[in-house]
Amino acid sequence: MDNRAIGIFDSGLGGLTAAEELSKLLPDEHIVYLSDSYNFPYGEKTREKIIGMSRNDMRFLLSKDVKAVFIACGTATSNALEVLAEESPVPVFGVVEPAVIEAVSLTKNNKIGLLATRASVAAGTYQRLINELKPELEVTAKACPKFATMVEDGIFDKNDERVLKAVEEYLPPLKQAGVDTVILGCTHYPLLADVITEYMGMNVRLISAGAAAARKLCAYLRENELACEKRAPRTDYFTTGSTENFAHTAALMLRRDLSPQLCGIEPFDKDGNI
Mean pLDDT value across residues 204-226: 96
Which residue out of 73, 144, 218, 228 is catalytically annotated? 73
Q: Is the pLDDT of residue 160 over 50?
A: yes
- What would the mean pLDDT of 3-19 be, rounded to a whole number? 96
Beta bridge mates, 35: 10, 239
Note the pLDDT tens digit of each residue in 238-264: 999 999 999 999 999 999 999 999 999
With bands split at pLDDT 50, 70 and 90, how would you rate the model's confidence at 274? very low
Q: In this structure, how many other beta carbons lie within 10 angstroms of the beta carbon of residue 89?
A: 6
Location of each CATH 3.40.50.1860 domain in the chain: 6-95+211-264, 96-210
Kindly give the interhelix angle for 74-87 and 125-133, rounded to the nearest 10 degrees. 80
Task: State the catalytic residue, choosing from 144, 186, 218, 228.
Answer: 186
Say how far apart CA 210 and CA 52 lie, in whole Å. 22
Instruction: Tell me: pLDDT of 272 over 70.
Output: no
**How far from chain centre, in Å, is Cα 51?**
16
Per-residue pLDDT, 98? 97
CATH T-level assignment (fold) for domain 6-95+211-264: Rossmann fold (3.40.50)
pLDDT at 228: 85
The answer, yes or no, to whether residue 29 has pLDDT greater than 90, is: yes
73 catalytically annotated:
yes
CATH top-level class of 96-210:
alpha beta
User: Strand pairing of 234-239 and 262-264?
Assistant: parallel
Residue 144 has pLDDT above 60, yes or no: yes
Q: What is the pLDDT of residue 269?
A: 66
> What average pLDDT does this structure show over 159-165?
97
Q: Would residue 186 show up in a list of annotated catalytic residues for this protein?
A: yes
pLDDT tens sequence across 73-102 = 999 999 999 999 999 999 999 999 999 999
CB 259 within 8 Å of CB 242: no
Is the pLDDT reported for residue 230 higher than 90?
Answer: no
Nearest to 102 by CA among 92, 114, 116: 114
